[in-house]
Structure 1
Amino acid sequence: MMTSRTSAEQANILKENALIKRAAKGESQALKELFIKYLPMTLAELKGYNLRHYDDDWRQEAYIAFYKACCTYNPGVLVRFSTYYRCCLSNHLKSIMRRELAAKRSANHKSVSLDDDLHYLELVTASTPHEVQQTNEILEEFIKELSPFEYVCYQVLKGEMTMEMLLIQTVDDLKKANRGLGRVRYKFRKFIKKWKNECEN
């Protein structure tokens, strides 16, 4: 009986991993099916933050975090997807709240830090809806140059994911994690320099 239950559980894990893989490739039906499965957990997590505006906007943010979790999850690491997604969602919500708090604190601050490479492009271009869209398109071009591992590093540098989550992906290989972060910083600086030169010419 124990073997039967173990086999059934393993079959469910394999089925879920297949759905996660399809969702990561952009299959909306697979993503929707998985998100519905984890909706009770999602709502409980949102409720735990005592959000003042607990509405569809926050659920949409959870959906974004869920998709990111599908894209970056590594089935080869002995961490359940539910645990990984909860961590992704928690960090995504915290990141949003940090940005909102920072925006309030710097509402009257007009200076732009040119040293902050990963936010420079967004800060100097994203002042109107059209420019926000343009910025996103430019960043999408940069993301296309990244490997899946480098994309995780990029999310860490942006504050969308934590170093702990990166170490999960590298199986606690700190040197590999730091090399990845350094590589993405270098690539991004080259990308920004090229973009600035094209704008000036």
Structure 2
Amino acid sequence: MHCTHNNRYFLNDDELRLLTAARAGKDREFQALFNQYWPLVRRLWQEYYVADLELEDWRQEAELVMMRALDRYQGGSLTRFAGFYKQSLINRLLDLYRARQAYKRIPASQLSSLGEEDGDRLVDGHHNRPEDIIYCQFCLEAFMQRCSPFERQVISRLHEGASITELKGQLGCDERKIRSALTRGRRKLVAELQQK
């Protein structure tokens, strides 16, 4: 897609039009642009090891990074977008790595599940301000829109009380695919909450 010369990236007219259309929010052009960068995305996933980050999970992360990169990129000619996107991907991989390392360092004594009283307090409207409840509903709606149809199906059924074993039979897929959908869903929820 691009060649380098003196650390500059040059795009031909067709590539520039594709980039401009993707930046304007056109889905087909966005996917075509992402597909052109897929070899870079895959290579970075191989170079920067992040525990439990499957390639499909990283693909979705990279698509989100591209959306943000297109939105934030300030270059007038867009000719340096490739370098900007690559650095954005590297930054995201480093963030994911640091987050996993930080989680590992939390002492087990500080980790605890919600007790029955805590759970009641979370769903009891008397303990929450109305604006907090509305905020949570807004975040959940935005989060569900970020999820793929399969992720929404898995999350909804688990929320309704189904077990992963039951989901395997209902959805006709293996446990790994279900757990992968859950992992992607968690990341999207965290990303949604961090943006607010």
What TM-score does the superposition give when structure 2 sets the normalisation length? 0.46
What TM-score does the superposition give when structure 1 sets the normalisation length? 0.45
